[in-house]
Amino acid sequence: MAYNVEQKAKIKHVQTAATKMKAALDAAIAALPKEYFLDTEKTGFVYSFTFNQATYPGATDPNLNGKPVLILVMKGIDHTNNDAVSYKYLFVDVAALADIGKADKVGSATAGHIASLDANGNLVDGGKAAADVLTTADVATDAEVEEMLNEIFGAAS
């Protein structure tokens, strides 16, 4: 079975992104005041975020303009103050959490060398060019394959 280096690198990045996302959301949820609850009508995802104080009153600009952002909106109701409603905003930079577009660059890579993985699954220079591993002389011709199959299974009738 062939070992797919590119697939292994993508899986590692997805796992890393998922771990980062879970940790960020766990921390965000833990930081929320207990008297607030998630406002599912106002919570949402924005592909290209633009901060506006009128849209997010009382929030601090998270400096995420133009980025994909998950906006969690917490609604609070103060029953001691005529049921006054207040909102708190949490802005999650999705691009930073789910950066799975490509593998990290290898600092000491040589152009034309095959990529390999180290013990931690990180990309490294494999130290060999594709031509060093497999050449056209190593590949059987159609006639050679047919001859071999005839020797193994007998000539086709």
Three-class HEC string of the chain = CCCCHHHHHHHHHHHHHHHHHHHHHHHHHHHCCCCEEECCCCCEEECCCCCCCCCCCCCCCCCCCCCCEEEEEEEEEECCCCCEEEEEEEEEEHHHHCCCCCCCCCCCCCCCEEEEECCCCCEEEEEEEHHHHCCHHHCCCHHHHHHHHHHHHCCCC
- For the chain (length 157 residues), average pLDDT per consecutive 10? 61 73 77 73 91 93 93 84 85 77 70 80 80 70 81 70
* 39-45 contacts at long range (C-beta below 8 A, 24 or more positions apart): 39/73, 39/74, 39/75, 39/87, 42/71, 42/73, 42/75, 42/87, 43/71, 43/72, 43/73, 44/70, 44/71, 45/69, 45/70, 45/71, 45/94
Evaluated on CA atoms 44, 46, 52, 58, the torsion sign reads positive
Check residue 102 and give its pLDDT.
Answer: 59
Check residue 3 and give its pLDDT.
Answer: 56
pTM as predicted: 0.45
Check residue 1 and give its pLDDT.
Answer: 46
Q: Residue 107 contacts by C-beta under 8 Å, 6 or more apart in sequence?
A: none
